[in-house]
Amino acid sequence: MQKQVEYEGAVRTKYPEQVVIAIAKDKDGKANPVTLGWTMIVSGKPPMMAIAVASRHYSIETIRHSKCFTIAFPSAEMADMALFFGSRSGRDFDKLANCDCKTEPAKAIDSVLLCDAVANFECELESETAAGDHIIFVGKVVSSHTNTEPKKRLYTVAPGHKLGSAS
């Protein structure tokens, strides 16, 4: 049976919620990673993925500048890194230079891949749509990569940015 409640209460039923790390280079060539829970696949042929990024975030500028971005699926071991990327702004700070995160150049776009991620998807920017306090960016996947080791994906498993594997 359903009971009408405030949105904030109802949305707490969403967990586990997938986590991705989106990465785009800014005008100075600095690759800027941001951790996002609001993401989905949006097309099969051609493959496309979407992310929703808070309007005030520096990542908006980097994606608009690059017109491309990486979507990495972090592994469960990358929880601390995902929290770090999600809690600092890259506006005046080089997140990748200040943590122990191995990267390698992307193959088809001007971005980087996260070496320890479960998978990386290189996306060319297709569209952006304003939606409330976020902007939805849609990217066409032009190159895909997986880890050579089997890894579990990272999820938000409970409120308060509690991260872990989903199973």
User: Would you give the binding string for a copy of itself spanning residues 130-149, x where CB under 8 A is met?
Assistant: -xxxx-x-x-xx-xxxxxxx
Can you read off the two tokens belonging to residue 99?
Answer: 């943590």
Residue 10 touches a copy of itself, criterion: CB under 8 A? yes
Residue 67 touches a copy of itself, criterion: CB under 8 A? no
Residue 125 touches a copy of itself, criterion: CB under 8 A? no
Neighbour tally for 160: CB within 10 Å: 6
Count interface residues toward a copy of itself (CB under 8 A).
Answer: 64
Nearer of residues 3 and 27 to a copy of itself, judged by Cβ:
3
Nearer of residues 34 and 52 to a copy of itself, judged by Cβ:
52
| Residue of the chain from 84, 125, 126, 161 that contacts a copy of itself (CB under 8 A) | 126
**Whether 122 contacts 107, CB under 8 Å:** yes
Q: How far is Cα 49 from Cα 140, in angstroms, rounded to an integer?
A: 7
Residue 99 touches a copy of itself, criterion: CB under 8 A? no
Neighbour tally for 1: CB within 10 Å: 2
Residue 76 touches a copy of itself, criterion: CB under 8 A? no
- Label residues 87-117 b or e (16+ Cβ within 10 Å = b): ebebeeeebbeeeebebeebeebebbbbebb
User: Which one-letter amino acid corresponds to residue 113?
Assistant: L
Residue 41 touches a copy of itself, criterion: CB under 8 A? yes
Q: How far is Cα 67 from Cα 128, in angstroms, rounded to an integer?
A: 10
Q: How far is Cα 136 from Cα 126, in angstroms, rounded to an integer?
A: 11
* Contacts with a copy of itself, residue ranges (CB under 8 A): 1-7, 9-11, 13-18, 37-48, 50, 52, 73, 104, 107, 113, 115, 117-121, 126-127, 129, 131-134, 136, 138, 140-141, 143-149, 151, 153, 155, 157, 166-167
